[in-house]
Amino acid sequence: MDHSREPEARWLTWDEAGEAMLDLRRRVFLGEMNWPEKRIHRDRDPEGLHLCAVSGGEIVAAISAYVYEPGAPELAALELAATDGPSVAIGMRVELPEYRGRLVTAQIGTSMLRQICEVLLPSRFFVYVHADSLLHLVDRYARRNFTYHAQVGSGPDTVVVMKVEGEEELEEFYLKHRDLTRKYAAEGGMPVPSLARFLAEHKREDLFAVSGLGAENHYLGQFRLDTEAPRLASQGRLILGEQRQRLTMTPFPPAPASLLDLGSGPGDYLAAVAGEPPFAGYRVRGIEPAPELLARARSAYPDVDIRPGTAYATGEPDSSQEVVTANFVFVHLRSPDLALLEIRRILRPGGLLYVVDVNDATLVGPEIIQRMMETYNRRYAGDRLLLNDLPARAEEFGFELVRRFSTALRDGADGPPVFGEDEIRLGKADAWSLLSFVRTQSGCEEIFDAAREHFFATPDGRISLSFETHVYRLRP
């Protein structure tokens, strides 16, 4: 085998790769560590989630996850209390000696944990370590936020059980592993394919936490509606002024056609866009998960059809839409992959997905403002850096990027907004208002106040932040 080749990450089923994974476990666990044969088997291997690194057609590293529904007897045997949601055990982390030191299992394990958080929304992660052979792993898992739970069993079958449990603990665990996957990606690490797509292809959608994810609202949870709705209306007017040209440059299907807008909020922007020439003759509808925003939209715009729904569960029939729009939605989702899966389901082949969102990776400004945004993005469960990854993610789900526009929002105007080519110049107060949401994130108050003071005290201090328009076509 050519060990110089970089391994490739793959999700594999037990049916297609179980024997190869057992062979890898035997080579390492039996050959090097003298485990008994029974320890390399897990009863739940056939339905386990197995993420492997493959080089030259051979599995060189692997890690497995096992999903336990509430009430599973194995949980009681490990003295784990009942929870409302699934528990996920992580185990059988193994790699060939030639690949140790290259962070192969660290990369695939980190991505596995992140994606499980995004797709399954578990109530608990746990591991168990055999007390007679692998106690050094206790320290390794402790560095990944696992805490000691119990020591169970006796003699050679004694295991140390560690867990991550509790709302705050699980959120910290998720954010930590999301940051680590970003770090590996920035260093040129191994891309890991989508768990959501893999599960859908193997008819395991029952594992998707659609209801739990849909009940989250990372965006609205930070604001009061009476103050946020006017800001959204003002933002909508600003964005529409920029979007008119983008809309005319987009090859929308001819009318009659159907358009569904995800996350329509208070309805202002959808009502305005519905009247634009590219959508003449369209049936335009929106969905909004937040009851308070939905009620406001229906009251303010009774002629616009806006219904309850989420990006993960739109309630629309298969292949029923020619266009799906998502304006400032994707960066607030914990699971963009599940949203892409749902959009793929409801779009007709050849239909368009039209995304408008902010990209914090484009932020230019004083060092203190850069640090402020980095602090915010480490703590926020949505992903304001997503647009750099979205084309590759969408490609996995059958979407082709056909247009990509970027517009920079900059301070420097003396009065009303000034529209230029691919930029909008704003007054200093209006420019700072684009970042006002940062102060609502717990732990960001102090740095927000310091950054604001610096910005307004520095006349020549400038900030620039771009939002982008992506147009994707669903391949036939």
Q: What is the CATH number of the domain that holds 271?
A: 3.40.50.150
Do residues 196 and 256 both lie within one domain? no
Do residues 338 and 228 both lie within one domain? yes
Is residue 359 within 8 A of residue 307, CB to CB? The reply is: no
CA gap 343, 396 in Å, rounded: 13
Show the domain range for 72: 8-207
Whether the pLDDT of residue 269 is over 90: the answer is: yes
Nearest to 442 by CA among 128, 168, 117, 91: 168
Instruction: Write out pLDDT tens, residues 306-341.
Output: 999 999 999 999 999 999 999 999 999 999 999 999
Nearest to 356 by CA among 328, 384, 395, 321: 328
Do residues 377 and 466 both lie within one domain? yes
Question: Residue 338 is inside which H or E element, if any?
Answer: helix 336-346
Is residue 50 within 8 A of residue 12, CB to CB? The reply is: yes
CA gap 411, 465 in Å, rounded: 10
Q: Phi and psi (nearest 5°) for 163?
A: -150, 160
pLDDT computed for residue 1 by the predictor = 44
Sheet containing strand 147-152, strands side by side: 8-12, 49-55, 58-68, 87-95, 124-130, 159-165, 147-152
For range 177-195, the mean pLDDT: 95
For range 365-392, the mean pLDDT: 94
Do residues 193 and 76 both lie within one domain? yes
Do residues 232 and 195 both lie within one domain? no
How many other CB atoms sit within 10 Å of the CB of residue 334?
21
CA gap 222, 440 in Å, rounded: 6
Do residues 139 and 257 both lie within one domain? no
**Of 178, 207, 236, which closes a domain?**
207
Do residues 225 and 362 both lie within one domain? yes
Is residue 201 within 8 A of residue 10, CB to CB? The reply is: no
pLDDT computed for residue 274 by the predictor = 94
Do residues 132 and 25 both lie within one domain? yes
CA gap 364, 409 in Å, rounded: 10
2 domain-assigned:
no
For range 113-121, the mean pLDDT: 98
Do residues 429 and 288 both lie within one domain? yes
Q: Could you tell me the CATH number of the domain that includes residue 70? A: 3.40.630.30
Whether the pLDDT of residue 186 is over 80: the answer is: yes
Is residue 394 within 8 A of residue 387, CB to CB? The reply is: no
CA distances from 200 to 51, 193, 337, 399, 439 (A): 16, 13, 11, 16, 38
pTM as predicted: 0.94
CA gap 20, 8 in Å, rounded: 16
CA gap 18, 453 in Å, rounded: 59
Return the residue matching tokens 């998502």.
326
Is residue 165 within 8 A of residue 123, CB to CB? The reply is: yes
Is residue 469 within 8 A of residue 358, CB to CB? The reply is: no
415 domain-assigned:
yes
| Planar angle of CA 248, 360, 446, nearest 5 degrees | 140
88 domain-assigned:
yes
Q: Return the minimum-mean-pLDDT range out of 87-91, 100-104, 348-352.
A: 100-104
Do residues 235 and 163 both lie within one domain? no
* pLDDT more than 90, % of the chain: 79
132 domain-assigned:
yes
Number of domains in the chain: 2
Instruction: Write out pLDDT tens, residues 202-247.
Output: 999 999 999 999 998 766 555 566 666 666 677 777 888 899 999 9
Whether the pLDDT of residue 134 is over 70: the answer is: no
The amino acid sitting at 164 is V
pLDDT computed for residue 219 by the predictor = 60
Do residues 112 and 136 both lie within one domain? yes
For range 61-87, the mean pLDDT: 96
Question: What distance lies between CA 42 and its chain's CA centroid?
Answer: 30
pLDDT computed for residue 97 by the predictor = 93
Is residue 108 within 8 A of residue 52, CB to CB? The reply is: yes
CA gap 354, 326 in Å, rounded: 6
pLDDT computed for residue 226 by the predictor = 66
**Of 152, 186, 207, which closes a domain?**
207
For range 116-123, the mean pLDDT: 98
pLDDT computed for residue 221 by the predictor = 56
Whether the pLDDT of residue 413 is over 90: the answer is: no
CA distances from 216 to 145, 212, 295 (A): 23, 7, 18
**Coil, strand or helix at 458:** coil
Do residues 21 and 49 both lie within one domain? yes
Q: What's the mean per-residue pLDDT of the chain?
A: 92
